Amino acid sequence: MSERRKPYPFDRIEPKWQSIWEKNRAFHALNPGEKNFDAAKPKFYVLDMFPYPSGAGLHVGHPEGYTATDIIARYKRLRGFNVLHPMGWDAFGLPAEQYAIKTGQHPEITTRTNVAKFKSQLQQIGFSYDWEREINTTDPRYFKWTQWIFLKIYNSWFNPETNKAEPIETYRGDDPDSVRLAYVAEVPVNWCQGLGTVLANEEVIDGKSEVGGFPVVRRPMRQWMLRITAYAERLVDELEDLDWPESIKLLQRNWVGRSEGTEIEFKIENRKEAIRVFTTRHDTIYGASYMVLAPEHPLVDQLTAPERKSDVADYRAQIASKSDLERTDLAKDKSGVFIEAYAINPANNQRMPIWIADYVLMGYGTGAVMGVPGHDERDLEFARKFDLPILPVVQAPEKTVEESIGFVGDGLAINSPIINGLQTPEAKAKMLAWLEQHEHGQSDVRYKLRDWLFSRQRYWGEPFPIVWEKSEPDGRLKHRSLGENELPLVPPPLEDFKPTGTGEAPLAKAKDWIRYSDKAQRETNTMPQWAGSSWYYLRFCDPENDRRFVGEEAERYWMGGPKPGGVDLYVGGTEHAVLHLLYARFWHKVLFDSGYLSKTEPFQRLVNQGIILGEDNQKMSKSRGNIVSPDEVIDNYGADSFRCYEMFMGPLEQMKPWSMKGVEGVSRFLARVWRLIMEENRAGEWILSDGISDVAADKSQTKVIHATIKKVTGDIETLSFNTAISQMMIFVNAFTNADAKPLPAMRTLLLLLNPFAPHLTSELWETLNRKFTDAGGDITEQPWPNHDEQFLVEDEIEIVVQVNGKLRDKLTVSLVASDAEIEAAALALPKILALIAGKTVRKVVVVSKKLVNIVLA
C-alpha cells in the first residue's frame, strides 16, 4: 500500500500525548488517605467488563464500550470528579489451557503474551485507564483473595429468619455441612469427554461443547456447588432500584423464575406415605385426575407395584441413555409408565393413578405434579396419549364448557363444588384457605434458579482452598477449609495439562502437591472462570492491598454513594446479562451480609453496548473473514478517528455494521477541526493558522457555540455520543468558512471534543497556548464549559401554519407576539386565505411560539 498523505499528523501526536499522560500519571486515581487526595471532589466509578485476553487480540467490538466509558471518564474528570476508571484481565480460561495441551507452553506464558498484546492495543487507542490499578485474575496476589472469598462463602450459611448469610458458627443444627453456602453434592452435570471436563450450561450449545464441538452428556458427579438459590428472592427484589435496562432486569427475573403457588399433600391409597406437589393452579384441583412423579423421585421405588418394577427400570434406563439434545427433540412426545399405585385427591376423594414421566423434572418444585389435563398443555397431551380422564374445571370467557378444555388462562370455576362460580383469582384464594384449613397444603414460592455448579476439572483455574481429611470415628473423607494464612494456594507446576479422561482433574497428577499431610489431601478441582470476575470491581478500588481483599476506606469511598449500587456506570455486552451479573451480585450480597461492603448491589447503572457487525452486515467471524482489527484503522486514520467513528456509528446500545467509509468521514471531520486552527506553510509544515484571533464570536457564532455546549453536555450524560458528534460537526461547518476564527470559540470546541478525540484536542490546545497564554495549563485541567440559555433565544420565531394538519405556509413573528396576534397573522396570509376561501373555519389551534393549525369543517 502506497504511503497516503495523512490529513493531519495523528501518527506523530498520538504517541506523543500517550507518553505524556503516562509520564504525568494523568489518569491515576488517588485513594482516600493518599497524599494529594482531594476529598472535596465527588467520586465517579466507571467500569468496563474486563476482557479475556485471547490470542487473536482486540477486534473493533471490544473498544466500543471502552470508548464510551473513556468519554465518560474524561468528561467527569473535566467536571471535577475523582474518577476511577480501571482495566484488567479475566485471564483464567479454557483457550490458554487448550493451547498448553497442544503445544506444551504453560498457560501462564500464553497469558502473559496475550495480555501484553491487549494492553498495547488499548494504550494505542488512548484510553485513560489508571494502569497502576491493573489486575489479572491469574495473579496469585489476586486469586489469593478469590480463594479467601470462597472461604467466606464456605464458612457461611443462609439464615432464612434474618434473610441473610451468617457465619457457620451461628448455625444451631446438627450438620453444618448441610447448610453451607458452598457444599459438595452429587448432581447430574454436563460432562464433555472430548475436553475431559464438566462444563457449565452456558458452555454447552445444542448438546456440544462451545469449544471444540465435542458431544456433552449428562452424568452424575460429585461437585462443589454454591447455594445461590438462597438468594433467589433478594436477587429479584433488589433489582428494583438499579438503573439497568428493563430488558436485562427481566432476563434476570426470568432466570431466577419466581412463581407463587401452593404445596399440596396427596395421600396414597393404603399407604402411609404422601406425595407433595407444587402447583400454581390449586384452583384446578378438582380436575386433577392423575399424578405424575419424576422418574428419579425418591418415592418411586417404594410405591411401584412389584409387577411394574421391571417396566419402571426399563423406562429409567431409556431416559438415562437420552442426551440433552434428544430430550429436547422429543420434548413434545410424552412418555411414561403407570406404577400401579393410587393417590387420593383431597378435594373430592377420587382415586388418581400414579405415573412416572420424564416431563416432570426432579429439579423443580417437589418433583411431582398433579395432572390437570383440562387446563395444562402438557398434562393434556399426556392424558390424551394414555387415555386418562379429562375434566374441564375452568370455563373460558365466551366459550362453552367443552371448548374450555385446554384453556390455561383465568376464567370461571366449574365442576368444583367448593369454588364453583368464582373467577380464578378468587377461586385460588378460597381453595387455598380450604386446603390450609384442612391441613392439605399451604402457600409456597418456588424458583427456577438452581444452585451454581462451581467446580471444573481443569488446570488453569483457582485451586479450591480445601483439603479432604480422614475423620476419626468412621475414617471417611471430610472436607475442611485451609486457614487464611495458607493462601494463596498456587496450582502445582505441571508438565502435562491433558485431562485424565476419567473425570478426575488434571491437578490429581501432581502427587506431591495433593498430599497435604499424612491423613489429608487437597481438593483437585478448580474454580470456574466466573470466580475471578465475580468480585474484580472491588479489587480495583484497592488493588495493592495485601492485608484485605479491599481496604475498608477505599471500598466505602469508591463503592459508596446514595444509591444501592456502588459502581456508577458499568458497560459491557448483553452476553453477560444473566450469568456474570447474577454471580457478581450473589457474591456481593454474601460479602455485604458478612459486613465487608457498604452497598447491597455492585452495579448501579448498567449499559449494554450493541454488537458491531462486519461490513457485510454479518456477525464478525474468522470463517467469514470479515473481522476488522483496530490496528489497521489506527494505522490509516489514527486513534481519535477510530474512537469517534465507534461512537458516531449509531446509538451505543444498538447492533450496527462497520463501515470503513464511515471512518473516513469522521476522519475528515477531525481533519477539519485541525485545519480550523492549523495551516501549512510553504515548507509543508503545520503552523498555527493566521485566522485565529482573540476576538469575540459574532451573534450567530455565539448561538452555535452555546447550542453545541448544551447539546454535547446533555448527550454525554445520556450516552448519546452519535448526536453529540453530529452537533460538533455542525459547529465546525459553521466556522469553516469564517474569515476570523475567534479564539474562545476554538477553545470551547476543543474542550467539548476532548473526551472524544483527546490526542488531537490536547495538541491543538497546546499549540494555542504557545501563542495565547491566558488559558494556561493543560486541557485536562480546564473546567467544562457551561452554556447560557440567553444566547439561544431568537428575536424572531418562525411559526408553522397548517391547514387540517398539513403544512401550508410559514410565518415569522416577534418573540413577544401573543397567541391571538399569531392567529390573526396566520389567517391573513394570502396562501391561507386562498385555501380557506369559501370554507368554514371550525377551529384554530395555536401552539405558543410554534404552530397554528386551522381546522376546516
Partner RNA sequence: GCCGAUGUGGCGAAAUGGCAGACGCAACGGACUUAAAAUCCGUUGGGCUUAAACGGCCCGUGCCGGUUCGAGUCCGGCCAUCGGCACCA
Nearest to RNA of 127, 648 (CB atom): 648
Residue 287 interacting with RNA (CB under 7 A): no
Q: What is the rounded radius of gyration, in angstroms, for the C-alpha atoms of the chain? A: 34
Instruction: Find all residues with CB under 8 Å of 333, minimum gap 6, and list them.
Output: none
- Buried b / exposed e across 291-327, counting CB within 10 Å, b at 16+? bbbbbbbebbeebbeeebeebbeebbeebeeeebeee
Considering the complex, what minimum distance in angstroms separates the CB of residue 577 from RNA?
Answer: 7
Pairing of the two strands 686-688 and 692-693: unpaired
Instruction: Find all residues with CB under 8 Å of 704, minimum gap 6, and list them.
Output: 730, 731, 734, 735
Interface residues for RNA in 681-720 (CB under 7 A)?
720
Instruction: Compute the residue count for the chain.
Output: 857
Q: How far apart are CA 616 and CA 613, in angstroms?
A: 8
Interface residues for RNA in 22-61 (CB under 7 A)?
none
Per CB under 7 A, which region of 210-218, 353-361, 421-429, 767-775 contacts RNA?
353-361
Considering the complex, what minimum distance in angstroms separates the CB of residue 3 from RNA?
Answer: 12
Considering the complex, what minimum distance in angstroms separates the CB of residue 835 from RNA?
Answer: 7
Per CB under 7 A, which region of 272-280, 431-439, 475-483, 595-603 contacts RNA?
272-280
Residue 202 interacting with RNA (CB under 7 A): yes
Residue 433 interacting with RNA (CB under 7 A): no
Per CB under 7 A, which region of 356-364, 432-440, 456-464, 761-769 contacts RNA?
356-364
Tell which one of 118, 359, 513, 535 touches RNA (CB under 7 A).
Answer: 359
DSSP summary character for residue 396: P
Tell which one of 190, 279, 457, 701 touches RNA (CB under 7 A).
Answer: 279
Residue 113 interacting with RNA (CB under 7 A): no
Cell reading at 137: 485474575
Considering the complex, what minimum distance in angstroms separates the CB of residue 695 from RNA?
Answer: 21
Pairing of the two strands 841-847 and 851-856: antiparallel
Considering the complex, what minimum distance in angstroms separates the CB of residue 372 from RNA?
Answer: 7
* Element of type H or E holding 278: strand 274-279
Residue 73 interacting with RNA (CB under 7 A): no
Interface residues for RNA in 792-831 (CB under 7 A)?
798, 800, 802, 804-808, 810, 831
Per CB under 7 A, which region of 218-226, 363-371, 496-504, 746-754 contacts RNA?
363-371
What totals of helices (H) and strands (E) does the chain contain, helices first?
26, 39
Residue type, 312: V
Tell which one of 56, 109, 185, 250 touches RNA (CB under 7 A).
Answer: 250
Concatenate the DSSP letters of all residues of 107-123 into one string. Answer: HHHHHHHHHHHHHHHHH
Considering the complex, what minimum distance in angstroms separates the CB of residue 737 from RNA?
Answer: 5
Interface residues for RNA in 657-686 (CB under 7 A)?
657, 659, 661-662, 664-666, 668-669, 671-672, 675
Interface residues for RNA in 727-746 (CB under 7 A)?
729-730, 733, 736-737
Tell which one of 364, 434, 686, 791 touches RNA (CB under 7 A).
Answer: 364
Nearest to RNA of 100, 851 (CB atom): 851
Cell reading at 736: 469553516
Nearest to RNA of 292, 569 (CB atom): 292
Tell which one of 723, 744, 791, 813 touches RNA (CB under 7 A).
Answer: 723
**Nearest CA to 90 among 60, 127, 123, 134?**
134
Q: How far apart are CA 775 and CA 618, in angstroms?
A: 48
DSSP summary character for residue 718: T
Residue 249 interacting with RNA (CB under 7 A): no
Nearest to RNA of 383, 590 (CB atom): 383
Interface residues for RNA in 306-345 (CB under 7 A)?
327-328, 330-331, 334
48 Rama class: left (phi>0) / alpha (psi -120 to 50) / beta:
beta
Residue 654 interacting with RNA (CB under 7 A): yes
Tell which one of 259, 423, 545, 629 touches RNA (CB under 7 A).
Answer: 259
Considering the complex, what minimum distance in angstroms separates the CB of residue 608 from RNA?
Answer: 10
Nearest to RNA of 120, 718 (CB atom): 718
* Beta carbons of 390 and 383 less than 8 angstroms apart: yes
Cell reading at 330: 422429543
Interface residues for RNA in 834-853 (CB under 7 A)?
843, 845, 847, 850-851, 853
Burial of 572 (0-12, 13-18, 19+ CB in 10 A): buried
Interface residues for RNA in 497-556 (CB under 7 A)?
none
Considering the complex, what minimum distance in angstroms separates the CB of residue 715 from RNA?
Answer: 8
Residue 726 interacting with RNA (CB under 7 A): yes
**Nearest CA to 525 among 548, 545, 542, 508?**
508
Per CB under 7 A, which region of 123-131, 223-231, 276-284, 585-593 contacts RNA?
276-284
Residue 369 interacting with RNA (CB under 7 A): yes
> Any idea which residue has 489497521 for its cell?
632
Nearest to RNA of 554, 577 (CB atom): 577
Angstrom CA distances, 702 to 252, 588, 644, 728, stand at 48, 50, 25, 14
Neighbours of 515 (CB within 10 A): 12
Residue 651 interacting with RNA (CB under 7 A): yes
Residue 261 interacting with RNA (CB under 7 A): yes
Considering the complex, what minimum distance in angstroms separates the CB of residue 350 from RNA?
Answer: 18
Cell reading at 242: 438499579
What angle, rounded to 10 degrees, do the helices at 699-717 and 743-753 form? 10
Number of residues that bind RNA (CB under 7 A): 83
Residue 19 interacting with RNA (CB under 7 A): no
Pairing of the two strands 82-84 and 43-48: parallel
